[in-house]
Structure 1
Amino acid sequence: MGIVGAGPAGIYAADLLTKDDTLTASGTPLSIDIMDKLPSPYGLVRYGVAPDHPRIKQIQGALHKVLDKPQIRFLGNVEYGVDLKLEDLRRHYDTVIFATGSDRDRPLDIPGVDLPGSHGAADFVFWYDSHPDVPQQWQVDGTSVAVLGAGNVAVDVARILAKNADDLLETDITDNVHEGLRSKRITDVHVFARRGIAQAKFTPMELRELDKQPGVEVIVYPEDFDLDDASMAAIEGSNHVKTNVKVLQNWAIRDPRGEPRRLHLHFLHRPVEILGTDRVTGLRTERMELTGDGGVRGTGEFIDHDVQAVYRAIGYLGSPVADLPFDEDRGVIPNDGGRVLDLDEQPIPGVYATGWIKRGPVGLIGHTKGDALETIGNLVADRDSFPPAADPDPESFVRLLRERGVPFTTWEGWQRLESHEEELGREHGRKRVKVLSRADMTRICRGEDG
């Protein structure tokens, strides 16, 4: 079996496959290849989680145990759609699971969105997480900046923008990220949410962390506290929502602390225009009001905010996957319970999807476990209908990569890179420091001289 994508979704799917009795008892040895376009595994955990979230990054330990299983082979630096086509995978695997995730920003259709100083959150996150395929430099402009969105990515971006760069030196950030953040002059970060406090999507843990940064004061505005019937129902029905609302209420009524940097949380503000001619000079929002049923509507009152940069964190989208239909509006592969559908909405035999490319970027990393359970359940139910691979020999697939000149990496190579990064970390008194460039990552994984 082949899995495209070595993030949590793909790894959880592989883990479930190794535990299914009907597959392991078939008499045929179970063999799973997990391939990824990056030289390293772990996807979102390595390149989508803020560096100052070590507790979330600890999930790598559980993912490591899965990839260490003898039935599973990791093949990194292999890009589907460039190095391989679907027909290649179908030739070598009875089934193929796509777990390619969501890697681009959802568009925001307002005037000024393309001005210099208007940034997608994905680009910024990939930069501060030292993704090897993005530019290494980022100019953090302005003294006052806006972050649009009310999810975990928005508060991550806001926290990194407000934080003292030196407070990140205990993490795995690279020197270029530290220098880029150290040069910033930001005193005020404004987070704008279109809906009310009871509709915010961030988790209580993410919210509380905003207030634990030395030198940063979180400011919440009492006039943004409007609770309608739907809001009260949400509070009564969810401890998550109840905790968020309580935390925000406490922040709104406390006395100012006078910290040198401020992080402002604004609710019921809809961005309508990014202001400026040659670059961002402000943000215009419309004051919203709750409608009683969980929705909001505009009031016609517009407010201009003096900001010099805007970071859009309104959601991610998956990217089109070669040789498969794609739902551009939702950013997913069309599927029914993980069974990939063709243009006539019929299942494509032996082709499946899991994770965010299946259902969209909803939920936390752990939610992909349940998602994988559905996909693998349907895969197992379909097992007797799999079209057999013409060339299932595991070594045959590796020969194909070599013939095409693909400098692929392996699980053993990743462990070599991991040890190298840990050694770099020890030199700086840290647990790890990431290797920045794809070329260096690949060279170290492959044991090649620099």
Structure 2
Amino acid sequence: MTRKRQMRLGLSIRGLGYHLAAWRHEDMDPGGALDFHHFLKSAQIAEAAKFDLVFLADSVAVRQRDEPAGSLCRSSQNVELEPITLLTAIAARTSHIGVVATGSTSYNEPYHIARKFASLDHISGGRAGWNVVTSWSDEEARNFNRDQHFDYDTRYERAAEFVDVVAGLWNSWEDDAFVRDKASGVFYDPAKRHVLNHVGKHFKVQGPLSSARTPQGRPIISQAGANDAGKEIAARYADMVYTGNVDIEPAKAFYASLKSMLPRYGRHPDELKIMPAISPYVGRTEQEARDKFEELQALIDPAIGLQQIYRQLGDMSAYPLDGPVPPPPADVEMVSDAQRLYNMAQKDNLTIRQLYERVAAASSMRVVVGSAEQIADTMEEWFTQGAADGFNICPPMLPHSAEEFCELVVPELQRRGLFRTEYEGTTLRENLGAAPQPFPAP
């Protein structure tokens, strides 16, 4: 009998949550972003609810700027724990949930990434995943001997080669290479050791990797870029993709486009799970959920709100907050995002305050407010209408909102047969339904 298709769920656990004012809420510990137990509790809540994975985004700089002046000191997004270190500790205190972290291809070397994630896969018993990003900010560049970030073409060209090298390093040893024969004194079979000897435009890497083949064959690869270059990397290598679409029709178009690319690389479309981000505000009733949402919205400092749209729309501190959103200046830093936000403001007749409140509620991702049934309805719609294989849940407050989602929404999804009640396996690859990774044929 064919098994019913079910959703995949990830829990994003960065910082204190995805509402920018979460740290000001009376129930929150504002220092939680440096507390291991804050993250462990979130991971254990997700594991008890049978989530596929926890996901930790990362950047290698404080990206926020003091624009407008006085805004930076009001942000909680300035200090955080390094993700591999944190997820290794979480892996030791969990047993089934996957542990996925961002690793930049712009400010790492392939050998570093291959070794760290292979080690995490061994330590976790096959639950590791690498989220491939290119990084994008000059703040990061200035921490790595550069005045400016790589240009667009260079960073994606470098990323494609970077992933090739990492994948090659993960195949340095065949599954049964280490015979460890005490009688003969042979530790490994030399015929099953493979030296990469990669020479490319951006990298020269000999290998082999100083890590054995991992429990999953290789760690899961995730990708988060929605542009054409990022989609090519995803189609060739990724097991899952995180997206930021907020409307179902663009989400369906992205889903269909990316899935159609996989056969080009000899892959079946089902081998890639597409998981849009949502930030749910859930209550036992719709009104309770809306009250929670409005309570957090009221905590948004105007300076932080204006900071969130500064790079896209420029300095709007001289304009009335409850007036219309002016057109973006010609020299705006983030052109496509500027047009997207301005079009949103025009379409929904938003004031400056209403626009920054919408962005601050979940860092521009899709916000869903309602009862468990209402949130399950919209998730089911996206899942059944070809817009998603699952979702990356980005709670407004951690761990509180994660706990509410797991208590209220997960049972409703399970009641509908849309989500598991038990894990299918012990590795992330098994639970995610990703393709097995046998050692490549010569």
TM-score, structure 2 length as denominator? 0.29
Q: Which has the larger radius of gyration?
A: 1
TM-score (norm 1): 0.28
More strand by share: 1
